[in-house]
A and B are shown apart, each in its own frame.
Chain A
């Protein structure tokens, strides 16, 4: 199993969610996050005083998938999240040892 984490622009959430559903992903976790990448943040001006706001709002999506799907799913998310402008975010996957469905006690791929 793999845990795929995507940090994306908030306004791309719906597109990514739809793409994940079309791909057949049954569940996902969404968290509001903030951070910056190479683009850093933005500047706000109040009566001429400039403030640099480093941390910009992002959405973090986490999905557990089977190993065979992971590679393709990264592409699906990237395609749905991309705007082509700076600050589109990142997607990565990491191996997961085990998972349990709390209600039934099913383990491993059956729990997904």
Chain B
């Protein structure tokens, strides 16, 4: 992403209506990904906890939006402080930004860039929630989101994309968030579940998805929104790079879905819908860092490799005994690492960046840089997320009670249930005073 601020008057550049429109649409597309993720995850949990799963993603839209406006944008994209964090007073509250101030060389208003990046900040903590399904206090989760974006996401976004961020300066390629979003969220998921622990009945009770149609709907909407995520990350459509990113997003996702399905047909005998949806998401994750620097054929390779690797990786939790409920580690961490490292092999040097991968005569230099990006973000997020989760657990307890977990977190946390299976409609209303009908009658009489 081209960083830096330009001003209309000072630099005689003009606001581009085309780029601005493109980025507003891209921002809206990325926004859709968070509720899409909610349904992708929501379908995979049991009936008794689907609402909580939806809410864990949805609440991120509330919390992170406000924090982003107050200080998040400033920390991530303000003037660099020591390559580790940014800050700009006039970004606080987004109050010191003029309508005519433009971001970078792309001729889009700073407001547009800020809102586009906001959508990334919203979905990243929501991704973590899949690992904690069914068992965490909603208040503890909300606090975790607020703290996590503040001390993990905002700084890491600065490292990777901020002007002066140390990974940006090093030349690590992360087009749309392979490290900042997916590896970051996947590592955080691992850190958090090491504190929170397994669901009651893990590996003993059946925990089948309650609605695969919801999973497919969520995955489909994620795929749709991801075009804004990836193509929009070039911040303009002047030079064709966004178009390449768009094409590669489609191609890699298709390839990954086929790769995952082929693996599970060979391994387990069936082409499952959950496999198709998961494979597609794995491909989207893997192509995210690479979509601006590989060719469509390279994108096919990235997709197939990620699809198969992630399909293999989701079984690791049973082997190692950690309960990553909905495979955030298996899909987002493994997919993100795969895509980021494959840049070192498949970067063509002719699109977003001149850096070339091993297969295009570039040697191992870019692979080394990608590895630094992967390892540093992974370790930072893992350690800090573990500490945050531990602190929350000590102060207020991260988990709900065992009886509440067994009965279903929806009832305990939200006083709601997702579906009414009682033909007769349930019991009487628990309210004091006259029944609804009586009140209405009195009003009519008066």
> Beta-carbon contacts of B414-438 to A below 8 Å, as 1s and 0s?
0000000000000000000000000
- In the complex, whether A68 has a CB less than 8 A from a CB of chain B is no
User: Smallest CB–CB gap between A88 and chain B, Å?
Assistant: 24
How far does the alpha carbon of A81 sit from the alpha carbon of B267 in the complex, in Å? 35
Q: Is the CB of B206 within 8 A of A51?
A: yes
> Beta-carbon contacts of B179-208 to A below 8 Å, as 1s and 0s?
000000000000000000000000000101
- In the complex, whether A102 has a CB less than 8 A from a CB of chain B is no
- In the complex, whether B315 has a CB less than 8 A from a CB of chain A is yes
How far does the alpha carbon of A46 sit from the alpha carbon of B268 in the complex, in Å? 10
Q: Is the CB of A44 within 8 A of B314?
A: no
B236-287 interface (Cβ within 8 A of A): 264, 267-270, 272, 274-275, 278
User: Smallest CB–CB gap between A56 and chain B, Å?
Assistant: 15
Q: Is the CB of A48 within 8 A of B315?
A: yes
A1-51 interface (Cβ within 8 A of B): 44-51
How far does the alpha carbon of A44 sit from the alpha carbon of B272 in the complex, in Å? 10
User: Smallest CB–CB gap between A63 and chain B, Å?
Assistant: 26
Q: Which of B267, B272, B330 contacts A46 (CB 8 A)?
A: B272
User: Smallest CB–CB gap between B308 and chain A, Å?
Assistant: 12
Q: Is the CB of A49 within 8 A of B278?
A: no
User: Smallest CB–CB gap between A87 and chain B, Å?
Assistant: 19
Identify the interface centre among A44, A47, A50, A51: most chain B CB within 10 Å of its CB: A47
Q: Is the CB of A45 within 8 A of B208?
A: no
How far does the alpha carbon of A20 sit from the alpha carbon of B156 in the complex, in Å? 72
Residue numbers in B under 8 Å from A50 (CB-CB) = 268
Q: Is the CB of B314 within 8 A of A47?
A: yes
How far does the alpha carbon of A49 sit from the alpha carbon of B324 in the complex, in Å? 13
- In the complex, whether B23 has a CB less than 8 A from a CB of chain A is no
By beta carbon, the residue of chain B nearest A48 is B315
Q: Is the CB of A48 within 8 A of B208?
A: no
- In the complex, whether B4 has a CB less than 8 A from a CB of chain A is no
By beta carbon, the residue of chain A nearest B317 is A49
User: Smallest CB–CB gap between B213 and chain A, Å?
Assistant: 14
By beta carbon, the residue of chain A nearest B269 is A45
- In the complex, whether B327 has a CB less than 8 A from a CB of chain A is yes
How far does the alpha carbon of A45 sit from the alpha carbon of B264 in the complex, in Å? 9
Q: Which of B208, B269, B315 contacts A51 (CB 8 A)?
A: B208
Residue numbers in B under 8 Å from A44 (CB-CB) = 208
Q: Which of A46, A48, A49, A51 contacts B311 (CB 8 A)?
A: A48
Residue numbers in B under 8 Å from A48 (CB-CB) = 264, 267-268, 311, 314-315
How far does the alpha carbon of A44 sit from the alpha carbon of B269 in the complex, in Å? 11
Q: Is the CB of A47 within 8 A of B206?
A: no
Q: Is the CB of A46 within 8 A of B208?
A: yes
By beta carbon, the residue of chain B nearest A49 is B318
Q: Is the CB of B278 within 8 A of A47?
A: yes
Residue numbers in A under 8 Å from B327 (CB-CB) = 47
Residue numbers in A under 8 Å from B268 (CB-CB) = 45, 48, 50
Q: Is the CB of A45 within 8 A of B318?
A: no
> Beta-carbon contacts of B304-333 to A below 8 Å, as 1s and 0s?
000000010011001000000001001000
- Residues of chain B having any CB pair with chain A under 8 Å: 206, 208-209, 264, 267-270, 272, 274-275, 278, 311, 314-315, 318, 327, 330
Top 7 A-B residue pairs of the complex, sorted by shortest distance between their CB atoms: A45-B268, A47-B314, A48-B315, A51-B206, A46-B274, A51-B208, A47-B274
- Residues of chain A having any CB pair with chain B under 8 Å: 44-51
Q: List 26 A-B contacts (CB under 8 A).
A: A44-B208, A45-B264, A45-B268, A45-B269, A45-B270, A45-B272, A46-B209, A46-B272, A46-B274, A47-B274, A47-B275, A47-B278, A47-B311, A47-B314, A47-B315, A47-B330, A48-B264, A48-B267, A48-B268, A48-B311, A48-B314, A48-B315, A49-B318, A50-B268, A51-B206, A51-B208
Besides A45-B268, A47-B272, 16 other A-B contacts (C-beta < 8 A): A44-B208, A45-B269, A45-B272, A46-B208, A46-B209, A46-B274, A47-B274, A47-B275, A47-B278, A47-B314, A48-B264, A48-B268, A48-B311, A49-B318, A50-B268, A51-B206
